[in-house]
Structure 1
Amino acid sequence: MNWLKQLNPGNSLRAQISFASGALALVLSLVLSFLAAENSKQQIEKREGEAFASRARNALDVMDRGMFERSREIRNAATLDDIRNPHVPIERKRNILERLQHNFNAYAWIGICNTQGKGIVGTGKYLEGKDLSKRPWCTKGREGDYFGDVHDALLLAKLLPNPSGQTFYLVDVAAPVIDAEGVLQGVLCGHIYWNWAEEALDSTRTPGKDILLVSRDGLVLSGPEQPRSELSSLAPLTMQAIRQGGNDSGYLLEKWSNGKTYLVGYAKSSGYRDYPGLGWASLVRQDVSQAFAPAHQLRQRILMMGVALGLLFAWLGWLLAEHIARPIVRISRAANKVATGDLAYDVPEQQGGDEVAQLSRAIHAMVSNLTREIRQRRKAEESMRLSAAVFANNTEAIMITDADHNIVMINRAFTEINGYTEAEVLGKNPRLLASGKQGKEFYRDFYAALHNKDAWRGEIWNKRKNGEIFPEWVTVSVIRDQQAAITHYIAIYMDITERKKEEERIQYLANYDVLTGLPNRYLLNDRLEQGLSLAQRHQTKVAVMFIDLDHFKNINDSLGHDVGDALLKMVSQRLKGCLRRSDTIARQGGDEFVALLGDLNSEDEVTFVCEKMLHSLREEFEVAEYHLSVGTSIGVSIYPDDGETSVQLLRNADLAMYRAKDAGRNRFEYYKPEMNTKALQRLHLENALRSAIAENQLMVYCQPKVNVNSGAVVGLEALLRWKHPQLGFVSPAEFIPVAEESGLINEIGDWVLRQTALQQRLWQSHGYAIVPIAVNLSARQCGQKDLVEKIQTIVRDTGLPPQFIEFELTESMLMDMGVNCLELMNKLSSAGFSLALDDFGTGYSSLSRLKLLPVKTLKIDQSFVRDIATDENDEIIVNATAVLAHAMEMKVVAEGVETQQQLEFIRDLQCEEYQGYLFSRPVPPDEAEQFLRQD
């Protein structure tokens, strides 16, 4: 029973020591576990919170830089000549925009709207012809660069490939398109898939953490929460911190609406360079159960350690039974751990007022101070190593001087740029770099600004060790001590030699043509304005000559652009040789040149120059192995007789040049007022025609094709009609050539084909037995590379079988297109469409070519049918044509049959079908139903 007494603390000092040691260890472990866990939580909260905020800020920086790059691409594209020139074909502009979209596949669409808000060109031809006037980018983009916030894309979602059918979101960047005269032409916009921005928020880069993007209005744009939900309802404290934080970032703890408490880091977008940002905010959050898991693990480990230490101390106390030795041994062991470098070990304190307790507290304080100082020293050393690495590896030259302007430190880039080694410059004054280009006044202002503002930034010309003088961009800062006394100067240099050269090249490219070296249109305009000012002051005349090479396109198409470019260089030199040194010859673009003759007293001087140019260009050019001749058409306008502004003079000279081409080419013409009148009439007709397309003034009439023997309607021909609100019906002979020249014929042709196919389907749905309808194709339409695919798409979309559409091509068109026409006709025939040769006999067709064409129908022109009963020659021609067609297994259709006598003649000639007023004039579709029979 003696050992039981020894276990009783009231009877045994050893038991008291043992139990006291064990209890003390357990209490200390509980306190330490709590304090360590709380301290760990605070450290984790601060460290992870700052890391989350930094991650959020980095994600926003990536998106801001991306938006800046997209904006710069759109702005650069808006300044391209081919984009801002209203005369450049739409197809050319579309090719440029599609290449831009191809370079950055995050673009959903890139396009241009005009000043009326109508889409004029876009990638994939989407939104072309659409009313975009209510789009913010189309209205606000006219005033300057535009950045649009995230929005849905209901229209583009239907037009663009979208297998899922879900609504997707876009962000916009836009810039105004201003032509060379400073006139706003429209707005260039790029729609960017929102998926691009979501890549910057990819949570897989930070596993276990959620990343959210919030709009300026507090809507969740991306992340694990419901899209478009309000952050103020999910996490009101976080939303309040974002709104009150300005552009700062930060972090906090908050319980969200889903019941979970998160550690949240946030940051707000501050833009990038001239991109102001859209006010977005980014959040990075993590469930505190995961974020503070290390703290809970630490508490458990400390508690387990406390239990183990309590048992250990109790066992040692029981064995040693030494009241003084017990804490001394414990302190000794703790001191040994600290001595071996274990700074994470926390020395427990001994309670009491004796020497052992004082020693314990002193050691505890010493270890804490020592640990803190070592950690601070390590942090400072790491910071110094980082600063030294940044200083040494910076690509910009860095030079540090003392207060007396003696160089005390340089980096490696300084030696690479200036050529001086560290040993050659240390202790010397920076004036050894002076080039002598800046005088005393410059340096006086330099030091005055430096001492007043403690910083200076600007351009300086310095001299390298080898004597080369070069430009540098320098930033100088003043370092002061706590008493505001100057201790050091820090100068950062950046060599801008290449930038200077690039600026000079840009200046050259902005004013001169790259191919010929002649002034371009911008420099021409500047010199023309100067010439007009001098002419006005000295009461002299100025001549503007618009020079265009005749049929130059044939040389490019047949011999290649390299030969064409070489020829343009030679032509420019000959034209330049025909002028005085005071005159200007500029390349306007392509094969167009403009000459400016100043200080003139009479038109005779201009006539002499024009004749000299025509004579000079008549001589052959030797380009490689070719001997080439070119003609030229020249138009002349005179100041002040033909205009008082540069715009008027250039426009009138251009009109005179076209008059020279119409008059036979290879000649010159002076401007006359009636030229402008004719051009205005054509322009008004073209503008009215554009309005006619938009306002549905165009109509499709139908004229029957009748079987000669049975009198039954076996086909129809679609004929375009235009009813103007004021002018009434406009003759196709007037507006079709305008549509051809302006390029509107492509859009009109697509419309006619679509209306014709839809009308066929409408008749079919009403129970009529439909017959093939013939649609005319123009040469301009046949020049489209994707014509066959476009035709197939239109007909397929209407659901009409291709055998109910017949295409008519004129004989003259076949001659102009040559081999390309044969390829086009074979494709149309293979697609199931019938083909007819219209106006046969008027174009001097080659019979050898005719037999190669997949044509099933030959239409005899009405000029031969009109006098068939009275003119023996016409009868012979029609008869020969019918025999030829039948021999080639073609059907013959006679056009313009107006009398019964004409009908009898073509019946005797065994023509199968006819058209003409004898049976019916062209009629609207609702009247044409009478020619169709009910199924």
Structure 2
Amino acid sequence: MRWLSRLNPRNSLRAQISFASGAIALLLSLALSYYAAENSKNQIEKSEGESFARRAASMLDVLDRGMFERSREIQNAATLEDIRDPDVSVGRKREILERLQRSFNAYAWIGICDVQGKGLVGTGKYLEGKDLAKRPWCSKGRDRAYLGDMHDALLLSKLLPNPSGEMFYLVDVAAPVIDKQGKLQGVLCGHIFWKWAEEVLDSKKTPGMDTFLLSQDGLVLSGPEPARSDLAKVAPLTLRTLRQSGQRSGYLLETWADGKTYLIGYAKSSGYRDYPGMGWISLMREDVTQAFTPARQLRQRILAMGVMLGLMFAWLGWMMAGRIAGPITRISQAADKVAAGELTYDVPMQQGNGEVAHLSTAIHDMVGSLTREISERRKAEEGLRLSAEVFANNSEAIVITDASNAIVMVNRAFTEITGYSDREVLGKNPRILASGRHTKEFYQGFFTVLHSHNQWRGEIWNKRKNGEVFPEWITVSVLRDERGEVTHYIAVYLDLSERKKEEERIQYLANYDVLTGLPNRYLLNDRLEQGLSYAQGHQARLAVMFIDLDHFKNINDSLGHDIGDALLKMVADRLKQCLRRSDTIARLGGDEFVAVIGDLNSEDEATFIAEKMIASLMQQFDVGEYQLSVTPSIGVSIYPEDGETATLLLRNADLAMYRAKDAGRNRLEYYEAAMNAKAVQRLQLENDLRSALAKGQLTMYYQPKVSVSSGEVVGMEALLRWSHPQIGFVSPADFIPVAEESGLINEIGDWVLHQVAMQQRIWLSQGYRIVPVAVNLSVRQFGQKNFAEKIQSIVRNVGIPTHFIELELTESMLMDIGGDSIRVMDQLNEAGFDLSLDDFGTGYSSLSRLKLLPMKSLKIDQSFVRDIDTDENDEAIVNATAVLAHAMEMKVIAEGVETQAQLDFIRDLHCEEYQGYLFCRPVPESIAVTYLQRESAI
């Protein structure tokens, strides 16, 4: 019962504090759970709503792409000669249409109505002879391509096999059929099962989420609601939002007619390419009781935690209340000890007017006078001991002198810093530490400030016992007695030696290159600005040289960065020896150096120095066990002719250096104004190229490959062309290097491969016997992650076998590819792609590397074929190349064959294929298709 009485808040302060603590914790948990749940619900609504909108947009994109492909497929079929020709038999046309229907299993029926609207021919002979004039596709498809929205098919649902007896829903795609004289022959139409669209939506469906497809009028085309039902009747807010919102996608919450509240994401169709779309709308919804389950669970967890925290705080309050009530117990215990004679015991004193306070005051006063003296003495002793420990163990040196400046006390840090022991300095003046660097006037000012302010603080140079001069930060204070007379001086020293060294190190790193010790970019700019100031003031000339080592990356890649760094140090020393002491040579980073030569009399001086650098670097470097040599490309700009600012001179010297590299490397080039114009032109070309793909300015041309023995077209090469809106056709020799340097080549390369594969698929669907088409690859494409998997995916998604795509690599690429690229080539070969080596003879590839590559064919560059019948050297090169390729079991293809004599020559060498103007120039796909043979009739 006594224990229960202690828990009653009416009888116990301790119980009151405990219950109050628990209640506060529980209330805070309730507020926190509500806030966290609401915040979580808002976040879920936003993230899930945006996710639903993106998925809805993805489904519409798949449907629009599919409709675009079907529209283009029907339009292509309408241009087939056998379809356009009125003299071709109905059976032949039906055969073509049935083969087209088999290419896409969603076609319910494909047929043609004539100009009077009568069914001319159709798959399965359905609707032949029927009056189709009132069908929208038959009437509206006469002038241009037609796409119809979803509709029922009463007639076809009876004609076509339909075991279920359910109504068919179709989507129409039609195009006019026009003969060679431009006369309308009829309309070709493809009926697509609406189940195709429903299957797309089902493939995107997630358990617990509903997917809808709506017409632009708000009718349900597919989804849980009945077909053709009006969304306004079940979700009026959603439909109103769709009609009023100007955004293509979004999300909202609404309670539908079934009484459930849903989180809804929507997206509106915008078509695909030249397909404007049907105005379809995609919705995804999820019951909020499911969507907001994480928020509800979070609230429950926080409430459970709040209950546990309430219990814990109640327990803590109980414990703390016990501490509050503790003084009463201690007073009672103290009274017992005092009564027993323990006068040294410090009795706690309780404030107030109650009995406890009175009792504690009486006991405290009784023993206070007896214990105060003992306590104060112990505190004083402890303070002195602590002060002595602090003085002795302080990391800063402390010196105490008397009024006459005689040292009376030093600590351990003083001995460690100065080297003097306390016995060596006690009684002496601190001037024994003087370094001699400070003047008499300095010390006079020092004592003036010290006595006027009782303190001086600053940096002083002193001398250690071993004679070493060092900097220190010192604080000197004056102690005075009651009369204001000086009794002592206290000096506290902090050794700044390491800090000074670190500052010097930081200053060095900020201005000098760590590897070579040359000035860095920051110090170079400062030196260059100084040189320009001098040149401007004295009407002098100044030269800036931009020096870049040729092919230095090969040394790092092959021998390692440690060898490369050692070589850079030696190069820096030789470049420095080529300059005057007043000149500056700096390293910008990597293998780039910049020299500043001031006070020039003429350009000949700069030329002399540059040629001296070239000759010096060409001499052999002994780096470890290797004997290496490097060559520089040097660009020079002159002040004031080529610029009057440091930025302009450096930029122009850089442009001149790139001109030196383009001109063959290992040479000197002076800046010319045309270089800047060329750089601006290249930048403009890069900017235009970035938008060329999106604006449809890039097109594909094809050049046939011809069998030497039979004269038949056995392959083609895909060639990229750019039709610029202002300057016309841009040569690939101009824009392909720009694409490679800017990184656009990866995106363009993927587009080219997809276009070629898609064109192959179109030709195949049109009934042509396709041949392998070669696509050129760039070395940058091999640097992409999972490159082999990516191009396999592109070809696989289009739906053609990989052996119909041939990949061409230039010989110059072999110098840049490494082991990983060879592995990628092996993966491509195993995937079924044929690899071909292009432009053979123009690079410097080794036979040892060539034999490791999985090449199926080798192309002789046209520069050797062009003069093959007049130049003995070219004749010998082509002959040797053919023998080499055949020995390595590779097919030989000759490029640039323009004359019959050249063709006869390569025929004698048993070359398998050729391509060139003798047979055909590169042509667009509309002409290239004429070189393909049609498949034989089934």
Structure 1 length-normalised TM: 0.53
Question: Counterparts of 2:481 and 2:773 in 1: how far apart (Å)?
Answer: 93
Do residues 497 (structure 1) and 497 (structure 2) align?
Answer: yes
Question: Counterparts of 2:325 and 2:732 in 1: how far apart (Å)?
Answer: 94
Residue 508 of structure 1 corresponds to 508
Residue 531 of structure 1 corresponds to 531
Question: Counterparts of 2:12 and 2:913 in 1: how far apart (Å)?
Answer: 107
Q: Give % identity.
A: 63
Match of 1:336 among 336, 340, 361: 340
Match of 2:315 among 286, 290, 296: 290
Residue 418 of structure 2 corresponds to 418
Question: Counterparts of 1:644 and 1:637 in 2: how far apart (Å)?
Answer: 10
CA drift of 1:293 comes to 2.7
User: What are the residue-to-residue correspondences of 1:776-815 with 2, within 5 Å?
Assistant: 776-782=776-782, 784=783, 787=784, 789-792=786-789, 795=792, 800=797, 803=802, 806-814=806-814
- Write the deviation string for residues 844-901 of structure 1: whole angstroms up to 9, x where unpaired: 8777765543223455667789999999999999999899878866567777799999
Question: Counterparts of 2:669 and 2:739 in 1: how far apart (Å)?
Answer: 27
Q: What one-letter code is carried by the residue in structure 2 that aligns with 1:507?
A: Q
- Write the deviation string for residues 195-243 of structure 1: whole angstroms up to 9, x where unpaired: xxxxxxxxxxxxxxxxxxxxxxxxxxxxxx999x99xxx9xxxxxxxxx
Any conservation in 2 of the 1:856–1:890 contact (CA below 8 Å)?
yes
Q: What one-letter code is carried by the residue in structure 2 that aligns with 1:650?
A: L
Question: Counterparts of 1:772 and 1:451 in 2: how far apart (Å)?
Answer: 99
CA drift of 1:498 comes to 1.8
- Write the deviation string for residues 378-416 of structure 1: whole angstroms up to 9, x where unpaired: 899888877766555443334566788776665433332
Question: Counterparts of 1:719 and 1:302 in 2: how far apart (Å)?
Answer: 97
Structure with higher Rg: it is 2
Change (3 A) 1:409 1:721: farther
- Write the deviation string for residues 533-552 of structure 1: whole angstroms up to 9, x where unpaired: 33333333333344445555
Q: What's the secondary structure of 1:836's corresponding residue?
A: strand
Q: What one-letter code is carried by the residue in structure 2 that aligns with 1:460?
A: I
User: What are the residue-to-residue correspondences of 1:138-177 with 2, within 5 Å?
Assistant: none
Any conservation in 2 of the 1:407–1:430 contact (CA below 8 Å)?
yes
Question: Counterparts of 2:334 and 2:534 in 1: how far apart (Å)?
Answer: 104
- Write the deviation string for residues 648-670 of structure 1: whole angstroms up to 9, x where unpaired: 33333444444444445444344
Any conservation in 1 of the 2:713–2:931 contact (CA below 8 Å)?
no
- Write the deviation string for residues 730-783 of structure 1: whole angstroms up to 9, x where unpaired: 22110112333455545654665678789999999999999976542223444x
Any conservation in 1 of the 2:542–2:640 contact (CA below 8 Å)?
yes
Q: What one-letter code is carried by the residue in structure 1 that aligns with 2:506?
A: I
Question: Counterparts of 2:304 and 2:423 in 1: how far apart (Å)?
Answer: 66
Question: Counterparts of 1:366 and 1:768 in 2: how far apart (Å)?
Answer: 120
Q: What's the secondary structure of 2:855's corresponding residue?
A: coil
Residue 731 of structure 1 corresponds to 731
Q: What one-letter code is carried by the residue in structure 2 that aligns with 1:335?
A: A
Q: What's the secondary structure of 1:837's corresponding residue?
A: strand
Change (3 A) 1:565 1:305: closer
Question: Counterparts of 2:305 and 2:661 in 1: how far apart (Å)?
Answer: 78
Question: Counterparts of 1:37 and 1:373 in 2: how far apart (Å)?
Answer: 41
Question: Counterparts of 2:574 and 2:871 in 1: how far apart (Å)?
Answer: 56
CA drift of 1:335 comes to 1.1
User: What are the residue-to-residue correspondences of 1:671-820 with 2, within 5 Å?
Assistant: 671-689=671-689, 699=698, 701=700, 703=702, 719-742=719-742, 744-746=744-746, 748-749=748-749, 774-782=774-782, 784=783, 787=784, 789-792=786-789, 795=792, 800=797, 803=802, 806-814=806-814, 817=817
Change (3 A) 1:258 1:39: closer
Q: What's the secondary structure of 1:473's corresponding residue?
A: strand
Q: What's the secondary structure of 1:292's corresponding residue?
A: helix
Q: What one-letter code is carried by the residue in structure 1 that aligns with 2:468?
A: E
CA drift of 1:671 comes to 3.5
Do residues 470 (structure 1) and 467 (structure 2) align?
Answer: no
Question: Counterparts of 1:765 and 1:371 in 2: how far apart (Å)?
Answer: 111
Any conservation in 1 of the 2:869–2:905 contact (CA below 8 Å)?
yes
CA drift of 1:495 comes to 1.9
Structure 2 length-normalised TM: 0.52
Of 904-913 and 555-564, more deviation after overlay is shown by 904-913
- Write the deviation string for residues 107-151 of structure 1: whole angstroms up to 9, x where unpaired: xxxxxxxxxxxxxxxxxxxxxxxxxxxxxxxxxxxxxxxxxxxxx
Question: Counterparts of 2:891 and 2:313 in 1: how far apart (Å)?
Answer: 86
- Write the deviation string for residues 655-710 of structure 1: whole angstroms up to 9, x where unpaired: 444444444544434443333333433344345445657x6667463648789799
Residue 395 of structure 1 corresponds to 395
Residue 542 of structure 1 corresponds to 542
Which ranges in structure 1 are unaligned for 5 or more consecutive residues? 1-26, 46-224, 235-255, 264-285, 310-328, 353-357
Change (3 A) 1:558 1:860: closer
CA drift of 1:456 comes to 5.5
Question: Counterparts of 1:757 and 1:690 in 2: how far apart (Å)?
Answer: 23
Question: Counterparts of 1:425 and 1:666 in 2: how far apart (Å)?
Answer: 69
- Write the deviation string for residues 429-465 of structure 1: whole angstroms up to 9, x where unpaired: 6554443433455455556666777765543222223
Paired residues in the alignment total: 655
User: What are the residue-to-residue correspondences of 1:250-649 with 2, within 5 Å?
Assistant: 288-297=313-322, 335-336=339-340, 338=342, 362-363=362-363, 365-367=365-367, 392-399=392-399, 410-424=410-424, 430-443=430-443, 457-475=457-475, 491-553=491-553, 556=556, 564-617=564-617, 619-621=619-621, 629-649=629-649
Question: Counterparts of 1:758 and 1:907 in 2: how far apart (Å)?
Answer: 34
Q: What one-letter code is carried by the residue in structure 2 that aligns with 1:789?
A: N
Change (3 A) 1:628 1:376: same
Question: Counterparts of 2:821 and 2:361 in 1: how far apart (Å)?
Answer: 103
The CA RMSD over aligned residues, in Å, is 6.7
Question: Counterparts of 2:506 and 2:775 in 1: how far apart (Å)?
Answer: 51
Any conservation in 2 of the 1:343–1:371 contact (CA below 8 Å)?
no
- Write the deviation string for residues 140-185 of structure 1: whole angstroms up to 9, x where unpaired: xxxxxxxxxxxxxxxxxxxxxxxxxxxxxxxxxxxxxxxxxxxxxx
Question: Counterparts of 2:396 and 2:766 in 1: how far apart (Å)?
Answer: 80
Q: What one-letter code is carried by the residue in structure 1 that aligns with 2:674?
A: E
Q: What's the secondary structure of 2:535's corresponding residue?
A: helix
Any conservation in 1 of the 2:885–2:891 contact (CA below 8 Å)?
yes
Question: Counterparts of 1:690 and 1:762 in 2: how far apart (Å)?
Answer: 28
Change (3 A) 1:710 1:614: closer
Q: What's the secondary structure of 2:544's corresponding residue?
A: strand
Change (3 A) 1:657 1:293: same
- Write the deviation string for residues 265-315 of structure 1: whole angstroms up to 9, x where unpaired: xxxxxxxxxxxxxxxxxxxxx954233332445689999999xx9xxxxxx
Q: What's the secondary structure of 1:438's corresponding residue?
A: coil
Change (3 A) 1:559 1:371: same
Question: Counterparts of 1:378 and 1:553 in 2: how far apart (Å)?
Answer: 76
Q: What's the secondary structure of 2:340's corresponding residue?
A: helix
Change (3 A) 1:482 1:710: farther
Question: Counterparts of 2:403 and 2:13 in 1: how far apart (Å)?
Answer: 50
Question: Counterparts of 1:434 and 1:777 in 2: how far apart (Å)?
Answer: 76
Any conservation in 1 of the 2:867–2:874 contact (CA below 8 Å)?
yes
CA drift of 1:500 comes to 1.3
Question: Counterparts of 1:590 and 1:752 in 2: how far apart (Å)?
Answer: 35
Change (3 A) 1:339 1:604: closer
User: What are the residue-to-residue correspondences of 1:646-665 with 2, within 5 Å?
Assistant: 646-665=646-665
Question: Counterparts of 1:725 and 1:482 in 2: how far apart (Å)?
Answer: 96
CA drift of 1:477 comes to 6.4
CA drift of 1:825 comes to 2.4
Q: What one-letter code is carried by the residue in structure 1 that aligns with 2:727?
A: L
Question: Counterparts of 1:883 and 1:619 in 2: how far apart (Å)?
Answer: 40
Question: Counterparts of 1:821 and 1:289 in 2: how far apart (Å)?
Answer: 69
